[in-house]
C-alpha cells in the first residue's frame, strides 16, 4: 500500500452543532462549516474546505522546501479556485496562484514550484481526480524593488 513504509494516519471528527452549522475537530482546533442544504453566506462549505486543504498543502510545503532546498523566502499567499460540474457532481478543475516573497532567481523559483507539484500529498490526490493548474509568482521581499 505504501512503498515508503507504514502509512501516516490523519483523523478528524465532525458533528452537527445546530441547523446548518457543523464543526470539524482536528487536534486542538475546531473548524466551523456550513452544513445547510443550500449555500450559506457566513461559513465555508465542503468545497471551500477542500480548497483550503489544497492551499494549506501548498503553504506547508513552501515552508518545508524552503528548509530542504534551501530556498530564501519571507512569506507566501495563495488563491485557490475550484470549479464544480453538475452531472455527475464532482470537481472538474482547480486553479491556483501562489505568490512567494523571494529574491531567488527564476530557475530556483521553478525548482520550488516543481517540488510543490511533485511532493504535495493533497496536491497529488486532487490532481489524480481533477485538472490542477497554477502558477508560482515570485514577488520582491518587502523593502526591495
C-beta separation of 136 from 116 below 8 A: yes
**Spatial CA neighbour of 115 closest among 74, 52, 67:** 67
Structural element, H or E, at residue 107:
helix 106-119
Residue 76 lies in a domain: yes
DSSP 103: -
Task: Please tell me the least confidently modeled range out of 4-8, 11-15, 137-141.
Answer: 4-8
Residue 93: all three cell numbers together: 478543475
Whether residue 87 is contained in a domain is answered as yes
pTM for the full predicted model: 0.91
**Residue 65 to residue 52: CA distance in whole angstroms:** 20
Enclosing H/E stretch for 64? helix 46-68
Q: Would you state the cell numbers that stand for residue 98, as one nine-digit string?
A: 501562489
112 in the same domain as 57: yes
1 pLDDT tier (thresholds 50, 70, 90): low
What's the structural domain count of the chain?
Answer: 2
Residue 119's domain comprises 45-139
Q: For residues 82 and 63, give the distance between their C-alpha atoms in angstroms, rounded to a whole number.
A: 24
Instruction: Look at residue 101 and tell me if it is in a domain.
Output: yes
Can you name the residues that pair with 77 across neighbouring β-strands?
99
Q: What's the CATH code of the domain at 92?
A: 3.30.300.20
Are residues 129 and 118 part of one domain? yes
User: pLDDT per residue over 11-32, tens digit each?
Assistant: 999 999 999 999 999 999 999 9
Amino acid at each position: 500500500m505504501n512503498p515508503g513504509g507504514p502509512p501516516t494516519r490523519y483523523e478528524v471528527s465532525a458533528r452537527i452543532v445546530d441547523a446548518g452549522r457543523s464543526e470539524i475537530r482536528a487536534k486542538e482546533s475546531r473548524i466551523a462549516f456550513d452544513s445547510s442544504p443550500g449555500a450559506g453566506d457566513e461559513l465555508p462549505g465542503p468545497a471551500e474546505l477542500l480548497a483550503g486543504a489544497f492551499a494549506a498543502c501548498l503553504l506547508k510545503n513552501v515552508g518545508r522546501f524552503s528548509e530542504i532546498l534551501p530556498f530564501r523566502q519571507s512569506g507566501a499567499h495563495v488563491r485557490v479556485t475550484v470549479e464544480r460540474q453538475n452531472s455527475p457532481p464532482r470537481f472538474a478543475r482547480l486553479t491556483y496562484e501562489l505568490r512567494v516573497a523571494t529574491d531567488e532567481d527564476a530557475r530556483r523559483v521553478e525548482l520550488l514550484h516543481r517540488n510543490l507539484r511533485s511532493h504535495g500529498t493533497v496536491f497529488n490526490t486532487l490532481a489524480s481526480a481533477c485538472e490542477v493548474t497554477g502558477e508560482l509568482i515570485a514577488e520582491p521581499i518587502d523593502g526591495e524593488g
